[in-house]
Amino acid sequence: MSFITSLSVFSLHLLLLLVGLFLNPVISDPRGETVAQMCNNRTMTPQQRSLVVTNFLAAMDAVSPLLEAKGYGQVVNGTGNLTVYAYGECMKDLDKKDCDLCFAQIKAKVPRCLPFQQITRGGRVFSDGCYVRYDEYNFFNETLSSQDLTNCSDKEITGVNRTLFRDNAEELVKFMSVEAVRHGGFYAGFVDRHNVTAHGLAQCWEPLTRGGCAECLTNASEQIDSCLGKEEGRALNAGCYMRFSTQKFYNNSGNYSTSDGSGGHNHLVVILTVTCSVVAFVLLVCAVCFLYRKTRAKKQRENKQLGSLLMLANKSNLCFSYENLEKATDYFSDKNKLGQGGSGSVFKGVLRNGKTIAVKRLFFHTKQWVDHFFNEVNLISQIDHKNLVKLLGCSITGPESLLVYEYIANKSLHDYLFVRQDVPPLDWAKRFKILLGTAEGMAYLHEESNLRIIHRDIKLSNILLEHDFTPRIADFGLARLFPGDKTHISTAIAGTRGYMAPEYVVRGKLTEKADVYSFGVLMIEVITRKRNNAFSQDASSIIHTVWSLYGTSNHVQVVDPVLGDNFNKMEASRLLEIGLLCVQAAFEQRPAMSAVVKMMRGNMEIPTPTQPPFLNPESVLEVRKMMSPTDSPMEDQSQSSGWRIDNISESFFEPR
Ligand SMILES: *[C@@H]1O[C@H](CO)[C@@H](O)[C@H](O)[C@H]1NC(C)=O
Ligand SMILES: *[C@@H]1O[C@H](CO)[C@@H](O)[C@H](O)[C@H]1NC(C)=O
Ligand SMILES: *[C@@H]1O[C@H](CO)[C@@H](O)[C@H](O)[C@H]1NC(C)=O
Ligand SMILES: *[C@@H]1O[C@H](CO)[C@@H](O)[C@H](O)[C@H]1NC(C)=O
Ligand SMILES: *[C@@H]1O[C@H](CO)[C@@H](O)[C@H](O)[C@H]1NC(C)=O
Ligand SMILES: *[C@@H]1O[C@H](CO)[C@@H](O)[C@H](O)[C@H]1NC(C)=O
Ligand SMILES: *[C@@H]1O[C@H](CO)[C@@H](O)[C@H](O)[C@H]1NC(C)=O
Ligand SMILES: *[C@@H]1O[C@H](CO)[C@@H](O)[C@H](O)[C@H]1NC(C)=O
Ligand SMILES: *[C@@H]1O[C@H](CO)[C@@H](O)[C@H](O)[C@H]1NC(C)=O
Ligand SMILES: CC(=O)N[C@H]1CO[C@H](CO)[C@@H](O)[C@@H]1O
């Protein structure tokens, strides 16, 4: 009878648990923020390096599914001194979804340890929800190492009685170091005395023996003592993790409250024990599985939640899986192709969460640059300006490198001006807005962002337009991504015919002023709606037309005839003058982009421009022989043409 009663009470609890689960579909916190990252700096040769990177990627890829299946995973890949050992584990209070999410976050951080110039053979990342490490030796049951850290918060205790919290935390820490060992290497709970609560969690990594766990946590509890008095402290050891805090940061999704500790531990209220958490976990998993299968509606709901979790993962780290991007772009199908640039082709894609993205498939084999590439992507992705296309992340683990950008709806300025017949011509106000926005974006890249990026390929097709014609500069930062890549730099001496500053073409001298030149060309093109072809036979490029009219009253006759009289003559004249300033042959005299912005806004006087680079017809013929006569961007043919900059005499571009 009493068995039946307790069974029904149990069922009731189960039911309540399930109801609670579905009334309350909270996305919990995966605690994936990095707490500490440690990189080894043992060295190796460049030849070894690329092999180690390959093994590293294989090992990391193999850890994830193990972790998903059982909460931790250890993998060995490679042989001899190229072997990579990899390990990942989640804190045991995280549920499966949070665990996956947490690991996705820190896994993305670990490549930063990989060698670029300095060659490292090991690294660890700790977050409060999970842990990852790779190294060149079998560290799986290592308890302590010289890299272990204690991380104390710098916040002094406020709001509660400091002495009382200190005492409670001290007691908790000692208690945890014993209890976790007794309970399979995990403990989370609190000490609550005199209305002051200290929360804590301790966990040993799975491969450790009981003795190893005790050794590690004893060390941790002693190390963490130095943090008492602060709001929070963490011990980050090779074999274990321990944290105390004024906040309840762990997950005990049930009522496991025991007595107030009148037994062995005075005044100690212990709530979460490992048995309970295992039972709870099993129940949760069963419940989820049960309902997941039972009803389709709920399954969809679950999927939706997963989608938003994925989005969260995508937002919080830069790594996209190759498979997801492949699916998003329908396996890079031609119908999704948006365009072809100097460094790769671009595809439109839709992620599972519905977000539209642009995926750039790079021509370059960048696996050997993986760490550098990742770092740069990370840096560039932090650049955020209203006139720049945001880089969302990359994929480095697949067979080719991919960059993921936000998707801009309205196509490029080039399409707008020269290709599309179905759109009304851009009016003057829009052209002004586009030029000013472009200048602002460039000023940001050159002068305001702490990376000081030279774009190197400013041209009409790299200016994308939003619905309201806000311009967004695409493809910036590529020069940073491939610094040592000789083939890329020299085939292109990137940039596009007609936009390249003479000192850059002739001497390969690349400064911000080369971008300013390109901007000047673009400005004149937008105003006149004529392409600038620096290599046209009669040497009467649009720049020279504008230059020859400069100072005459006919100055504005070059403005796009489609505008008729519907434009501001003063403004047009000013912009043409600024355009000429930007394309001056002497690069020192070209204005900085911030000055261009000021002049465009009328906040700065416009100096008198000097002559643009002038073309000598003989040299033009010579160059024309070397280059194919199409109008498409140079880099598209340069790979096969073997065009060499050195052949062109310097006088070619000097003013007459
Ligand atoms: C300690 O952790 C905080 C984040 O909680 C981090 O900002 C800080 O850099 C860490 N300190 C050390 C020495 O790792
Ligand atoms: C790693 O670098 C740190 C300083 O950056 C140095 O103190 C330490 O000795 C180096 N360790 C090894 C193994 O080279
Ligand atoms: C390393 O990973 C690769 C790629 O996944 C796999 O083919 C290989 O068998 C692995 N090697 C070892 C020793 O596990
Ligand atoms: C790694 O092993 C190879 C061959 O087994 C050897 O030539 C090389 O010197 C070793 N490198 C190191 C750093 O031990
Ligand atoms: C760790 O594991 C290795 C082999 O896997 C074993 O030889 C060693 O004794 C273990 N160490 C500890 C401290 O358990
Ligand atoms: C904190 O508690 C201790 C012990 O109860 C007491 O002696 C002390 O005065 C309290 N401090 C404050 C600031 O309340
Ligand atoms: C704890 O707080 C309650 C009310 O919040 C108060 O009645 C009680 O006296 C407090 N106990 C101690 C030991 O401070
Ligand atoms: C804990 O381990 C570290 C690293 O081995 C060591 O430097 C430290 O002295 C140890 N602390 C204690 C209290 O054993
Ligand atoms: C936990 O359960 C006990 C007894 O079942 C109850 O007295 C207590 O209020 C519950 N605590 C919470 C936080 O629900
Ligand atoms: C799965 C699980 O237990 N999630 C819980 C984690 O903790 C947060 C906050 O305490 C809860 O909202 C989640 O339900």
Task: Render pLDDT for 77-103 as a digit per residue (tens, 0 to 9).
Answer: 999 888 999 999 999 999 888 888 888
* Nearest atom of ligand 6 to the alpha carbon of 194: 5
Dist. CA 519–CA 500, nearest whole Å: 10
Q: Atom 4 in ligand 9: which residue has the minimum CA distance?
A: 257
| 119 pLDDT above the threshold of 90 | no
Confidence bin at 310 (pLDDT 50/70/90): very low
- Residue with the bigger pLDDT between 352 and 367: it is 352
- Between the CA of 29 and the centroid of ligand 10 the distance, in Å, is 7
Among the atoms of ligand 7, which is closest to the Cα of residue 195? 1
Q: Which of 165, 192, 195, 269 should be mutated for ligand 7, with most atoms under 8 A from CB?
A: 195
Class of domain 156-250 as given by CATH: alpha beta
Q: Whose CA is nearest to atom 1 of ligand 9?
A: 255
CA-CA-CA-CA torsion sign (226, 263, 17, 203): positive
Of 19, 28, 255, 282, which is best to mutate to test ligand 10, by the most ligand atoms within 8 angstroms of its C-beta? Answer: 28
Rounded to the nearest angstrom, the distance between the alpha carbon of 144 and the centre of ligand 2 is 18
516 C-alpha vs ligand 4 centroid, how far in Å?
50
- For ligand 10, atom 10, the nearest C-alpha belongs to 251
For residue 272, give the nearest of 293, 250, 289, 291 by alpha carbon. Answer: 250
Cα(141) to centroid(ligand 5), Å: 6
Q: Report whether 318 contacts 377 (CB < 8 A).
A: yes
Nearest ligand for residue 177 CA: 8
Same fold, 34-140 and 156-250: yes
pLDDT of residue 177 exceeding 60: yes
Q: Measured from the CB, is residue 209 less than 6 Å from ligand 5?
A: yes
Rounded to an integer, what distance in angstroms lies between the CA atom of residue 581 and that of residue 308? 50
Which ligand is closest in space to the CA of residue 194? Answer: 7
Which has the higher per-residue pLDDT, 638 or 27? 27
Q: Categorize the per-residue pLDDT at 337 as very low, low, confident or very high, splitting at 50, 70 and 90.
A: confident
Instruction: Tell me which residue has tokens 């149990």.
Output: 10
Task: Output the pLDDT for position 597.
Answer: 96
Is the torsion defined by CA of 52, 128, 63, 358 positive or negative? negative
For ligand 9, is residue 259 a contact (CB within 6 Å)?
A: no
Nearest C-alpha neighbor of 206 from the set 104, 71, 308:
71
pLDDT in tens, 187-208: 998 888 888 999 999 999 999 9
Q: What is the largest CA-CA distance in the chain?
A: 109
- Catalytic center residues: 457
Q: Is 255 in the pocket of ligand 9 (CB under 6 A)?
A: yes
> Atom of ligand 10 at shortest distance to CA of 93?
3
Q: What is the pLDDT of residue 343?
A: 65
Nearest CA to ligand 2 atom 10: 41
Ligand with smallest separation from the Cα of 149: 1
Instruction: Kindly list the distances between the CA atom of residue 416 and the CA atoms of 419, 427, 469, 515, 568, in Å, as whole numbers in the listed order.
Output: 6, 12, 11, 22, 21
Q: Does ligand 10 lie within 6 Å of residue 490's CB atom?
A: no
Closest C-alpha to ligand 10, atom 1: 95
Gap from CA of 236 to ligand 5 centroid (Å):
21
For residue range 217-235, list pLDDT tens digits in order: 999 999 999 999 899 999 9
CB 526 within 8 A of CB 425: no
Q: Give the pair of three-digit tokens for residue 111.
A: 């490549």
- Measure CA 194 to chain center: 46
Rounded Cα distance, 532 and 579, in Å: 13
CA of 48 to the centre of ligand 4 (A): 8
The 3-state DSSP class for residue 123 equals strand
Ligand 2 mean position, distance from CA 125 (Å): 18
131-140, 475-484, 562-571, 591-600: range with lowest mean pLDDT: 475-484
Summarised one tens digit per residue, pLDDT across range 41-64 is 776 666 776 677 778 878 888 898
The predicted structure's pLDDT at residue 95: 85
CATH number for domain 307-407, candidates 3.10.20.30, 2.70.50.60, 3.30.200.20, 3.30.499.10: 3.30.200.20
Closest ligand to residue 9's CA: 9
Q: What is the pLDDT of residues 262-296, one digit of tens each?
A: 222 333 333 333 333 334 444 444 444 344 454 44
Residue 526 has pLDDT above 60, yes or no: yes
pLDDT, residue 496, reads 61
> 301-305, 555-559, 630-634: which has the minimum mean pLDDT?
630-634
List, as residue ranges, the binding site: 360
Give the mean pLDDT of 114-121: 56
**Which residue has its alpha carbon closest to ligand 5 atom 6?**
141
pLDDT higher than 70, residue 161: yes
Q: What is the Å distance from ligand 2's center to 41 Cα?
A: 6
Given a cut of 80, is residue 162 above it in pLDDT? yes
The closest-lying atom of ligand 9 relative to the alpha carbon of residue 257 is: 1
Q: Which residues contact 135 (CB under 8 A, 6 or more apart)?
A: 40, 84, 85, 121, 122, 123
What is residue 618's predicted lDDT score, i.e. its pLDDT? 41
DSSP for residue 281: H
| HEC sequence for 319-374 | ECCHHHHHHHCCCCCHHHEEEECCCEEEEEEECCCCCEEEEEEECCCCHHHHHHHH
Q: What is the CATH number of domain 34-140?
A: 3.30.430.20
Question: Does 290 or 464 have the greater pLDDT score?
Answer: 464
CA within 13 Å, CB half, 444: 19
For residue 207, give the amino acid letter.
Answer: P
Token pair listed for 149 = 């850290």
Say if ligand 4 is within 6 A of residue 561 CB: no
Encoding tokens for residue 105? Answer: 């976050």
CB 81 near ligand 4, within 6 Å: yes
* pLDDT at residue 493 tops 60: no
Helical (H) or strand (E) element with 201:
strand 196-204
Percent of the chain with pLDDT over 90: 35
Q: Give the pocket of ligand 8 (CB within 6 Å).
A: 144, 146, 148, 219, 222-223
Mean pLDDT, residues 250-265 taken together: 39
- Rounded to whole angstroms, how far apart are CA atoms 541 and 251? 69
pLDDT band of 114, cuts 50, 70, 90: low
Closest CA to 219 of 154, 170, 150, 165: 150
Q: How far is the CA of 58 from the centre of ligand 3 (A)?
A: 6
What pLDDT does residue 103 have?
A: 86
Are the C-beta atoms of residues 541 and 553 closer than 8 Å to each other? no
pLDDT per residue as tens digits for the range 557-570: 899 999 998 999 99
What mean pLDDT is predicted for residues 32-39? 88
Alpha-carbon span 57 to 77, nearest angstrom? 9
d(CA 192, CA 525): 72
Q: Given pLDDT bands bounded at 50, 70 and 90, which one contains residue 455?
A: confident
pLDDT digits (tens, 9 = 90+) for 373-411: 776 777 788 888 999 998 888 887 666 778 899 998 878
Which atom number of ligand 3 is nearest to the Cα of residue 76? 14
Mean pLDDT of 436-443: 96
Of all ligands present, the nearest one to the C-alpha of 196 is 7
| Any ligand 5 atom below 6 A from CB of 141 | yes
β-pair partners for 337: 347
Q: Which of 23-37, 273-287, 420-434 has the highest mean pLDDT?
A: 420-434
Domain 409-656 architecture: Orthogonal Bundle (1.10)
The crossing angle, in degrees rounded to 10, of helices 542-549 and 569-582 is 120
DSSP string, 205-257: -TT--HHHHHHHHHHHHHHHGGGBTBSEEEEE-SSEEEEEESS--S---S---
pLDDT at residue 23 greater than cutoff 70: no
Q: Higher-confidence residue: 322 or 3?
A: 322
Is 50 exceeded by the pLDDT of residue 344?
A: yes
Q: What is the pLDDT of residue 547?
A: 87
Range of lowest pLDDT (12-16, 55-59, 110-114): 12-16
Domain layout of the chain by residue ranges: 2-23+264-306, 34-140, 156-250, 307-407, 409-656
Per-residue pLDDT, 364: 54
pLDDT top residue among 148 and 303: 148
CA distance 244 to 173: 7
Given a cut of 50, whether residue 637 has pLDDT beyond it is no
Q: What is the pLDDT of residue 368?
A: 53
Arithmetic mean of pLDDT over the chain: 75
Query: Is beta strand 337-340 parallel, antiparallel or unpaired with respect to 344-350?
Result: antiparallel
Please give the Cα distance from 309 to 97 (Å, whole number). 8
User: Binding site membership for ATP: which residues?
Assistant: 360
Q: What's the confidence (pLDDT) of residue 28?
A: 59
Average pLDDT for residues 66-83, to the nearest whole number?
Answer: 91
Which atom of ligand 5 is least distant from the CA of 138?
5
Sheet holding 232-236, edge to edge: 149-152, 232-236, 240-245, 196-204, 186-193
Q: Kindly indicate the confidence band of residue 256, based on its pLDDT and cuts at 50, 70 and 90.
A: very low
